Amino acid sequence: MKVLLVGAGGRESAIAEALVNSGAKLYVVSKHVNPGIKKLAQEYGLAKETDIGKVLDFALNWGIDLAFIGPEAPLEKGIVDILEENGIPTVGPSREAAQLETNKAFARQIMEKYKIPGRKLFKVFNDAKEMSDWIDEFGKPVVVKPLGLTGGKGVKVVGYQLKDNEEAKDYAKKLIEKDGKVLIEERTDGVEFTFQVFTDGKEIFPMPLAQDYPHAYDGDVGPITGGMGSYSCENHYLPFVTKEDYEKALNTLKKTIKAMRKEGIPYKGILYGQFMLAKDEPKIIEFNARFGDPEAMNVLPILETPLLEIAQGIVDGALKKAKFQEKATVVKYIAPKGYPENPIRGVQIQVNEAKIREAGAKIYYASIDENLTLLGSRALAIVGIADSIEEAEKIASQGIKHVKGEIFYRRDVGTKESIEKRVRIMKELRGE
Ligand code: GLY
């Protein structure tokens, strides 16, 4: 079967590998040539992922049977609708359904309308005075969010990127001036985790939980990035998430899919719940309409059910199963020095693939070209997979030694110390 993959980051590298391993003939369109994906692909077309006309031309010329969309930007542009109108079944939500990610007010309103658990108190404003009065009256720390896609960089939280509610009001006012609207939410304290599921619009199959490290530097400091690494555990839970928390979070995702169906906007593909585990329950911070990056690299290498079978189940509305190996995983992303604010670009790095594999680790290339020249975003990821998180972390750390150049990475992703810190925060919050 000829499968089109759109996108070529680390996430798409993991999707590409899982598709090829399950028998797909891979065809790729993306804005740069990813050296790892290139080796797996029959054909490779260069175009912006959001240039839907070009993507469609490639797909029709190649005679594609099924498409798989990696990133969110083409979903927002309606790539799934266009490909399907042209007879190509596609894994990913329609433009309308993708609003769960691309329009934060839509997602909150669906949760409110259907009383889906895990909601946060929120308000959407288009008037700066009303916004300011509401924040004053609310009196507790808030989160300020632009409504649309921001690559994870537009959300600002009081106590983190914003000093106090006064700064929040100033930032919210700027967003109203720029976008016409802003979303203000209550701040929820706790520990974040990622819950991804496959869905055909009716059935839901969970993937192992993962935890992302969004800050640039060790110790959870520095600017917010796309994610500097992530880990998952052999039992598919996380050390600070109880079975009850897990069931509650799964229920939130199930109810969301059900609500979308009732709303007449069925959602199919991958749904990513970014949860904050608060004192009382997991609360939705955001939905994403695709795999996480890096979290796709935690779950796909340990997927036992062939991804192609899952993809067909999703597009046929007949999803039957998604099983994963009981393995722990640690993903460490390597980024150019200066990332995310002022990344070095155009400089070559050295990657000793043979030594990395000898260390037992996997390599997924991302924002890097065929000559191993840095393109400015996260360049490649090294992944350790083992029976325990300690072992997986060791493998990833061994592998990463064989990448040299103007780069940096977070040494603490998946380490005992950093995981214990998260467990401690949760225990303190719950008074245990
Ligand atoms: N790791 C965060 C994201 O994929 O959005």
CATH number at 251 reads 3.30.470.20
29 — pLDDT class (breaks 50, 70, 90):
very high
Can you tell me which atom of ligand 1 is nearest the CA of 290?
Answer: 4
247 and 386 fall within a common domain: yes
Residues 285 and 383 in one domain: yes
Does the beta carbon of 286 sit less than 6 angstroms from any atom of ligand 1? no
Task: Report pLDDT digits (tens) over 138-189.
Answer: 999 999 999 888 776 788 999 988 999 999 999 999 999 999 999 999 999 9
Provide the phi-psi class of 11: left if phi over 0, else alpha when psi is between -120 and 50, else beta.
alpha
The two tokens of residue 193 are 């985790």
Q: Are residues 254 and 382 in the same domain?
A: yes
Residue 425 maps to a domain: no
Who wins on pLDDT, 122 or 357? 357
Count the domains in the chain.
3
Q: Mind listing the pLDDT tens digit for each residue in 206-264?
A: 999 999 999 999 999 999 999 999 999 999 999 999 999 999 999 999 999 999 999 99
By percentage, how much of the chain surpasses pLDDT 70?
100
Q: Are 204 and 343 in the same domain?
A: yes
Q: Are residues 157 and 281 in the same domain?
A: no
Question: Is 114 part of a structural domain of the chain?
Answer: no
Pair of tokens at residue 96:
């309308």
Report the CATH number that the domain containing residue 169 is assigned in CATH. 3.30.1490
| pLDDT above 90: residue 403 | yes
Q: Is the pTM higher than 0.85?
A: yes
**Which of 76, 155, 274, 290 is the pocket-test mutation for ligand 1 (most atoms within 8 Å of CB)?**
274
Average pLDDT, the chain: 97
Residue 407 — φ and ψ, nearest 5°?
A: -135, 170
Q: Give 390 Cα–ligand 1 centroid separation in angstroms.
A: 23
pLDDT for res 148: 86
Residue 121 in any domain: the answer is no
State both tokens at 219: 């110790």
Residue 334 domain flag: yes
Q: Does residue 364 belong to any structural domain of this protein?
A: yes
* Cα dihedral 160, 161, 163, 169 sign: negative
pLDDT of residue 152: 66
Q: pLDDT confidence of 297, banded at 50, 70, 90?
A: very high
How far is 78 from 53, CA to CA, in rounded Å?
11
Residues 164 and 294 in one domain: no
Do 234 and 356 belong together in one domain? yes
The 8-class DSSP code of residue 342 comes to S
CATH number at residue 83: 3.40.50.20
Q: Which residues contact 216 (CB under 8 A, 6 or more apart)?
A: 222, 223, 224, 225, 228, 335, 339, 340, 410
Helix H segments across 86-157?
Answer: 99-102, 104-113, 128-138
**Does any domain span residue 120?**
no
Rounded Cα–Cα distance for residues 301 and 36 (Å): 15
Choice from 69, 288, 331, 333 to test ligand 1 binding pocket (greatest atom count within 8 A of CB): 288
| Ligand 1 neighbourhood includes 101 CB (under 6 angstroms) | no
Whether 281 and 219 share a structural domain: yes
Selection from 259, 224, 254, 210 nearest residue 107 by Cα:
259
For residue 241, the CA-to-ligand 1 centroid distance in Å is 19
Q: For residue 116, is it within any domain?
A: no
Task: Evaluate whether residue 113 is within a structural domain.
Answer: no
Same domain, 325 and 221: yes
**Å from CA of 228 to ligand 1 middle:** 10
Q: What was the pLDDT predicted at 432?
A: 87
pLDDT tens digits, 51-85: 999 999 999 999 999 999 999 999 999 999 999 99
Task: List the residue whose alpha carbon is closest to atom 4 of ligand 1.
Answer: 292
| pLDDT (0 to 100) of residue 313 | 98
For 74, the domain range is: 2-95
What pLDDT, in 10s, does the model give residues 220-234? Answer: 999 999 999 999 999
Residues 369-375: what's their mean pLDDT? 97
- Coil/strand/helix, residue 376: coil
Same domain, 169 and 195: no
